[in-house]
Amino acid sequence: MARSLSHSLIALLALPLAAQAVDNSYPRVSMFYGTAPTIGTKGAHQVRESMLVGLEYSHPVWRGEAFGAVEWRDFRSIWREVTQFSPRDNRGNTIQEDKNKTGYAGVGNSTRGYITAFTRRPNYPDDRSIASDMRFDSVHMSKCDLGGGSAKVAYRQYFKAPFVGQVGVQGGLTVNFLTSAEWARADIHVLSFRSYDPQNTTPNSNWTSENPNLDAPVYGRLFNDRVFQDNKEIKVLPGIFAGARFFINDNFFFETNITTLGYTALEYVPTAYTGKEGYVEQTDRTKVVWEFNVGFRF
């Protein structure tokens, strides 16, 4: 009775292990989905998260298989401020000097001015000294999106897994056709000064219905640069990847890869920063991601 029970138990435990057989002797098609956080600096996207979905075709070669895959990727991004403020020397609660004029007074105008975020009230000893006025304070916001297609051409070498299933070490080339997009929004004011009017105990940027002309020289305004730019670019750039795939059984698998993705970064440069017509600066870059995928093989 005991021997019969033990035999039955052994047979029961053997069933799932027998189901782990992995057959790589004929061509297969796989689908997978996963996440791929950025390794290293977050860059202009400000966050690491991305996702991908892919389709793969594999064919037996030697002790493994050659395969090709097409993927769709989407990177998360958030807005960031990139205003090129003129640095100021703060000593206590009093502005001693504007140390650098970072702004230009218009296209072809070599006159330099200050790009400031706020001034300070000299009569207040704490944070209430900050006197902000968006009619003279500048802001430049940017959001950089990235997404699109990539393809892999690679080889996978199989080894027997220590416990169940099978493991394959893989690596190869990537071809990336990712679309970069930058959304730039700015209201930049270049000033000859950004002062405080002690007579009115308010910043020297008052607006009244009797005097709506804030561009008047008395207010220190040299130039206004208002930006509403949407720019996109797609390029085909190479990369590489290496990783491993773990087969739970003949159909289901998990894989992880370190992948490099070539893309073009976009940055709109306003007139206020250069004295030239606003333009889009393009730079080819490489993003390194760590992929975690789950998939099903037919």
176 and 35 assigned to the same domain: yes
Phi-psi region of 220 (alpha: psi -120 to 50; beta: other; left: phi over 0): left
Return the C-alpha torsion angle 287, 176, 283, 269, nearest 10: -100
Regarding whether 242 and 291 lie in a shared domain, the answer is yes
Kindly list the averaged pLDDT for each block of 10 residues, start to end, along the chain of length 298: 43 43 89 96 93 97 92 96 85 65 92 85 65 78 96 92 78 96 94 68 47 63 91 94 93 96 96 96 95 96
Residue 125's pLDDT is 61
CATH number of the domain within which 172 lies = 2.40.160.20
**Residues 193, 267: one domain?**
no
Q: Does the residue 10 lie in any domain? A: no
In terms of domains, do 149 and 200 share one?
Answer: no
129 in helix, strand or coil? helix
Among 173, 208, 225, the domain-final residue is 225
67 and 51 in a common domain: yes
Looking at the 3D structure of the chain, how many domains does it have? 2
Q: 105 and 250: one domain? A: no
**Residue 124 has what pLDDT?**
66
Whether residue 129 is found in the same domain as residue 255: no
270 and 252 together in one domain = yes
Indicate the length of the chain as a whole number. Answer: 298
* Contact status, residue 15 vs residue 42, Cβ threshold 8 Å: no
Asked if 165 and 236 sit in the same domain, the reply is yes
Specify the pLDDT at position 162: 66
Report yes or no: 49 and 42 within 8 Å, Cβ to Cβ: no
- Where b means 16+ CB within 10 Å and e means fewer, 223-247 reads bebebeeebeeeeebebebebbbeb
Cα distance between residue 290 and residue 257, in whole Å = 6
